[in-house]
Structure 1
């Protein structure tokens, strides 16, 4: 007599797939040079989504990834990405940006502005066809959202890649972090504008006012606490800010970023912060990658989605490189600097995927647009190390320049 599987057992099958499939592909395929494990996890999420696994094995897909299991996975994914985004906010170092303000603002504005322009043009092209703009979006929200998605730099993944290339603690690595940090703030500020709900503008302005007042008290409290207590209180603060932002009609991830942005990095041991980021990536972020893959859609046809992804990738990479090379000419950089910096700053991966998830949640883009953006993010990140590694060997003087 066969006993039906419990939801717990089906949930554990899903977890087994989430962790084993990408690891085996990454380890056995030896993909680390062009596709780190985090990229393979994103790709595996797409493969296990409705567009691939769901079409090849529809009965098995419906059995494992049923509504109850997806709901459970989403809860883990939300908390994982909230912690990850909070860490990204904490790691912003605006003091260094201000110390090198001319260089940082020239480079940061061009690194953001050019791909934003190129991406917005690509979005206008997509508007000429049905199926790309979300049901709740105004045209300007769609264009600005796609443009900003093309301009995003994934600061946490950038840190991981620069560690791998052994340049994170070098002068050029620290410069790149300054540029990316400045862009990170602009990205979340623009997102808040895109998500502004004019029917609830009073509630949203109220949230910003209360957040500012609460931040004053929170910072005074954190200074008085031991580091051990700060770690725990920061999670309470994260949950409160995320809830308040979502209630106000922005998005819980906007609240998560703000919760980290008002914390000082020196409140925490840097080594422990690095470990926390690594442990979150290792233990729970793979669930977010899978839940992201489950949201992909190919109803407009695989060819159309891939063409859109290629257009967005061209706008993203081309815009970023154009902006950085222009900054290099203005600031009189040495030969090779602009190319290395441009290719590193065009890294998308996690932050762009988080950004696109928010646009999808708010119905500013469709599932098909989300899929194209996801493919663009994967392509962008996979290009980084193969393009940068040879240039670092060629221009060694740039790496060690103070």
Structure 2
């Protein structure tokens, strides 16, 4: 068969298998389609399909096919991270800066501390530290992996639970937005290549200057032209960041974060996010799954994932309770917010991909972080939705 035919077979698998599992298995309550796609990416990778059906795996995922899939995945994730940057509402965060900064600082700091402790333990076990990593980079990277909150996935889940446009949902978005900024800033520090620091300083200086010009330009253009200019801006900033050694995804996020979603129309931004998730991101999930490995043993990888998940969930819940006491939240609200903020999803996977690309973590660490992201996201709706229902019933009785 030709490479084109095998590529189309791979695409058919990527889009058909997760959809059938999601639809026929009716998993939406526990695992929305995006979570099923992430899981199936792991299943179709070398650790599962490649182990039990090596000949079939080798036939479908040939080097030319994988190269083509990777190209689509790079573009898909660039668009997705750009949209995540656009969705940051830094103005609203500033208007509620005391509440937001206290909650965001705690929800970032507590799981970061616990995650760093887990990273120290993993380093003593061997097989987890990447070949190009300094110990501090590994510890900080894994720790921040536990502190990640997946802003785009939280938006999808809160929309499903009908709280996105309510005061609680908007507060959670502010907390997650500020944490997103901090996480990407810390990632830039972790990735700092001191041999190329001149390039990086030059890129950041040029980026700041170009941002001023692009913002002035976009504010004066019609909406249709803003999208074209915005996409070109995304490409150039991603290219510059990768050239400087910061990784193209960092550039993609920065490109979106300095722009205003209102310039493009919130409804159109929501539509683009939906279409990217529908049409392109499944390819990224498969590309991610192809990078999973279990060379140090499946049990060890699952143990590492469980330790990381415990650090993340415990840290987020403790942080929310501490914030609730300081800010005087109603009883039970802190736990709900904590469970929402522990959602990992796609941002965790993107974060782990960057660490793997830079050889700060091994494929086994990457697999553990990926499993943590899956389990974290699957926990959110089954735990939060019943709590919201009980809160609504209490309000009805009180009314």
TM-score for both structures, normalised by structure 2? 0.98
2:49 — aligned with what? 53
Mapped partners of 1:379, 1:398: distance in 2:
30
Mapped partners of 1:96, 1:83: distance in 2:
24
Aligned length: 396
Shift of 1:396: 2.5
Contact 1:172 1:399 in 2 (8 A): no
**Residue 230 of structure 2 corresponds to residue 234 of structure 1:** yes
Q: Equivalent residue of 1:128, what SS? A: helix
**Which aligned segments of 4 or more residues in structure 1 are displaced greater than 6 angstroms?**
397-400
Contact 1:392 1:399 in 2 (8 A): no
Mapped partners of 2:74, 2:393: distance in 1:
43
Q: Equivalent residue of 2:149, what SS? A: coil
2:321 — aligned with what? 325
Contact 1:118 1:319 in 2 (8 A): yes
**Structure 2 unmatched ranges of 5 or more:** none
**Residue 77 of structure 2 corresponds to residue 81 of structure 1:** yes
1:345 — aligned with what? 341
User: Alpha carbons of 1:102 and 1:399: their partners in 2 closer, same or farther (altered >3 Å)?
Assistant: farther
**Given the alignment, which residue of 371, 391, 395 partners 1:395?**
391
Q: Deviations over 1:35-93 (max 9, x none)?
A: 00000000000000000000111111111101111100000000000000001111100
Q: Deviations over 1:326-350 (max 9, x none)?
A: 1111111100110110100100010
Shift of 1:95: 1.0
1:107-256 mapped onto 2 (5 Å cutoff): 107-256=103-252
Mapped partners of 1:336, 1:94: distance in 2:
27
Shift of 1:265: 1.4
Mapped partners of 1:216, 1:334: distance in 2:
42
User: Alpha carbons of 1:352 and 1:398: their partners in 2 closer, same or farther (altered >3 Å)?
Assistant: farther
Mapped partners of 1:317, 1:83: distance in 2:
29
**Given the alignment, which residue of 266, 270, 274 partners 2:270?**
274
1:289-368 mapped onto 2 (5 Å cutoff): 289-368=285-364
Contact 1:142 1:365 in 2 (8 A): yes
Shift of 1:398: 9.3
Contact 1:176 1:341 in 2 (8 A): yes
Mapped partners of 2:349, 2:328: distance in 1:
34
Mapped partners of 1:267, 1:398: distance in 2:
40
**Residue 22 of structure 2 corresponds to residue 23 of structure 1:** no
User: Alpha carbons of 1:217 and 1:397: their partners in 2 closer, same or farther (altered >3 Å)?
Assistant: farther
Shift of 1:131: 0.5
Q: Deviations over 1:160-185 (max 9, x none)?
A: 00000000011100000000000000
Q: Deviations over 1:202-242 (max 9, x none)?
A: 11000000101111111111112100000111110010000
TM-score for both structures, normalised by structure 1? 0.97
**Given the alignment, which residue of 72, 94, 101 partners 1:98?**
94
Mapped partners of 1:64, 1:307: distance in 2:
31
User: Alpha carbons of 1:218 and 1:206: their partners in 2 closer, same or farther (altered >3 Å)?
Assistant: same
Q: Equivalent residue of 2:126, what SS? A: coil
Shift of 1:293: 0.3
2:2 — aligned with what? 6
Mapped partners of 1:88, 1:360: distance in 2:
21
User: Alpha carbons of 1:399 and 1:270: their partners in 2 closer, same or farther (altered >3 Å)?
Assistant: farther
Contact 1:298 1:368 in 2 (8 A): yes
Q: Equivalent residue of 1:308, what SS? A: helix
Mapped partners of 2:249, 2:215: distance in 1:
20
**Given the alignment, which residue of 57, 65, 68 partners 2:64?**
68
Shift of 1:399: 8.9
User: Alpha carbons of 1:160 and 1:341: their partners in 2 closer, same or farther (altered >3 Å)?
Assistant: same
